[in-house]
Amino acid sequence: LADAVTTAATCDLILTGARVVSVVPSKALYWPGSVAIRDGVILAVGPSQDVDERFAAARHVRCDGDILMPGFVNAHLHAGMSLLKGYPCDYALSERLKHVVWPFMAAMDEQATGVAVRAACAESISAGITTFADMFPFVAATAHAVRDTGLRARLAPYLMTESDELARAVRDVSSLGCPRVTAAVGVQSLYGASVSALEQAADIARSEKLPVHIHVAETRAEFDQGMGVRAVARRGLMPKGSILAHAIHVDAEEIAQIAQRGAGVAHNPSANAKLGTGIANISAYRSVGIPVGLGSDSVAANDRLDLFEEMRMAVFLSRLRRDEATPLSIWDAIEMATLGGAQVLGLDQTIGSLEPGKAADLIRIRLGAPHLEPLLDNDREQVAAHIVFAARPADVSMVMVDGDVLLDSSVFTKLDAAMVMQAATAAAARVLGRAGLA
Ligand SMILES: [Zn+2]
């Protein structure tokens, strides 16, 4: 039993009688287990008989053997692109960007971005995602929508040409005054941004001491044309804590460079598979201590904001790579979807595991449905396997960020989902029409 206080104490809430997957210590399962929470912070995690006795709680919630685990961290997203969901498109990456994504973005505005981000937040909450790293223009609109929905996010613009967008984004996020929303420097990629935009991004990252969120080595062509990880580092776009999205095509020297500079990798297995860009060698990153998180990428490259799917795909693809010395395990997948993502976002002191002193960002996964049976008593390997291979977003029944309940008995507490979806459909019709895509 780990705990933050030494004397008997009161707390706001004890979630009791759960299968608690705390992520730290690694592979731990407390069953029956409890989590005690006060002022949005976890006070204790451990066996129910210990935690329940030591705290006088204002409220007890019995979890009936359901799973409690940290909320998922989506390490790479473009929430503002949510209006592109289901857009029929079988182009490869470069044609997709040129003919769909960039014309769509040129037709976007503040209002449509706010609508798109609310839709992405609704899908994220319903799937147990409590934090995400985003890259999209109109950071102010994104920040307001994230704050209103109660999620946690690190927001970056999608810089392609030199402008005041970056400086404005940093200012807008700090003036929001919402501790759950933080900023990063966002650059689309080395091939997508102008030289002056790349220089501007490196300057601001240096002066503001911010990490960079950038697409890199997503395609073999980037590596072959000298626009891979090595070039990102050379241009000053890989300071400590930076988020490298995809990082599929790298050599050994580049892996060492990422480790040495303290950057992290956002692995997007479904998006990589949908676009056919390759299978990243994730074990190679993890074996040298590089933090790896799981990302959905935008719905245009994936169609689902669903880290259950990404965990499953990450394990499957790792096993399909013939050169993986140690393919990913189910526990590796759970760790990447939670603590690994938190490390990639630089938030692992606050979130990513259920530990005393961390924020109460957690989810409840309802058991008992036919697709989650059988489940033997006290079998932690089977619980982990169910989380990675069998569970679905619809199994998430409760979502909490900083102790605030955003989803209760599978019902949104802050969002009017019907209104969000209706607004998204209207905005999609308007923006796609303006972009000449509909
Ligand atoms: Zn992306």
What is the CA(420)–ligand 1 centre distance, in A? 23
Q: Taking the CB of residue 283, how many other CB atoms lie within 10 A of it?
A: 17
CA atoms within 13 A on the CB side of 216: 30
pLDDT-derived band at 6 (thresholds 50, 70, 90) equals low
What is the CA(159)–ligand 1 centre distance, in A? 13
The average pLDDT across 337-366 equals 98
Decide if pLDDT at 274 tops 70: yes
Angle among Cα 218, 221, 223 to the nearest 5 degrees reads 70
Closest CA relative to residue 4, chosen from 52, 29, 53, 37: 37
Strands 72-77 and 396-401: unpaired
Residue 38: φ, ψ to 5°: -140, 135
What is the CA(215)–ligand 1 centre distance, in A? 6
pLDDT-derived band at 91 (thresholds 50, 70, 90) equals confident
pLDDT above 70 as % of the chain? 98
What pLDDT, on a 0 to 100 scale, did the predictor assign at position 8?
A: 65
Decide if pLDDT at 7 tops 70: no
Instruction: Write the pLDDT tens digit of every residue in 160-180.
Output: 999 999 999 999 999 999 999
What is the CA(42)–ligand 1 centre distance, in A? 33
Query: Mutual orientation of helices 110-126 and 139-149 as an angle, nearest 10°?
Result: 40
What is the CA(258)–ligand 1 centre distance, in A? 19
Q: What is the mean pLDDT of the chain?
A: 95
76, 31 contact by CB (below 8 A): no
What is the CA(300)–ligand 1 centre distance, in A? 9
What is the CA(216)–ligand 1 centre distance, in A? 10
What is the CA(375)–ligand 1 centre distance, in A? 37
What is the CA(284)–ligand 1 centre distance, in A? 22
What is the CA(93)–ligand 1 centre distance, in A? 11
Can you tell me which residue has the tokens 């009688």?
Answer: 17
Decide if pLDDT at 1 tops 70: no
What pLDDT, on a 0 to 100 scale, did the predictor assign at position 321?
A: 87
What is the CA(235)–ligand 1 centre distance, in A? 20
What is the CA(334)–ligand 1 centre distance, in A? 22
Q: Which two tokens stand for residue 167?
A: 């400086």
Output DSSP code: residue 80. Answer: G
What is the CA(136)–ligand 1 centre distance, in A? 9
Q: Which two tokens stand for residue 11?
A: 């707390």
What is the CA(298)–ligand 1 centre distance, in A? 6
**DSSP conformation letters of 39-74:** TTEEEEEEEHHHHHHHEEEEEEEE-TT-EEEEPEEE
Q: Which two tokens stand for residue 163?
A: 């402008």
The average pLDDT across 201-213 equals 97
Query: Helix, strand or coil for residue 158?
Result: coil
What is the CA(47)–ligand 1 centre distance, in A? 40
Between 438 and 336, the higher pLDDT residue: 336
Residue 202: φ, ψ to 5°: -65, -40
CA 5 – CA 43 distance, rounded (Å): 7
Q: Which residues are near ligand 1, the ion (C-beta closer than 5 Å)?
A: 297
What is the CA(389)–ligand 1 centre distance, in A? 25
What is the CA(3)–ligand 1 centre distance, in A? 39
What is the CA(327)–ligand 1 centre distance, in A? 25
211, 346 contact by CB (below 8 A): yes
What is the CA(213)–ligand 1 centre distance, in A? 10
Instruction: Write the pLDDT tens digit of every residue in 119-160.
Output: 999 999 999 999 999 999 999 999 999 999 999 999 999 999
Decide if pLDDT at 343 tops 70: yes
pLDDT above 90 as % of the chain? 92
What is the CA(276)–ligand 1 centre distance, in A? 14
Query: Helix, strand or coil for residue 315?
Result: helix
Decide if pLDDT at 4 tops 70: no
- Of the listed ranges 98-102, 224-228, 343-347, 397-401, the one predicted with least confidence: 98-102
What is the CA(270)–ligand 1 centre distance, in A? 12
Decide if pLDDT at 410 tops 80: yes
pTM for the model: 0.97
pLDDT-derived band at 5 (thresholds 50, 70, 90) equals low
**CA Rg, the chain, in Å?**
21
Instruction: Write the pLDDT tens digit of every residue in 11-21.
Output: 999 999 999 99
What is the CA(295)–ligand 1 centre distance, in A? 9
What is the CA(424)–ligand 1 centre distance, in A? 20
Residue 139: φ, ψ to 5°: -60, -35
What is the CA(71)–ligand 1 centre distance, in A? 21
pLDDT-derived band at 367 (thresholds 50, 70, 90) equals very high
What is the CA(99)–ligand 1 centre distance, in A? 16
What is the CA(378)–ligand 1 centre distance, in A? 39
What is the CA(406)–ligand 1 centre distance, in A? 26
Decide if pLDDT at 326 tops 90: no
What is the CA(67)–ligand 1 centre distance, in A? 31
Ordered strands of the 152-156 beta sheet? 181-183, 152-156, 129-135, 72-77, 292-294, 264-267, 243-246, 212-216, 185-187
Decide if pLDDT at 363 tops 80: yes
Strands 72-77 and 129-135: parallel
What is the CA(23)–ligand 1 centre distance, in A? 27
What is the CA(386)–ligand 1 centre distance, in A? 28
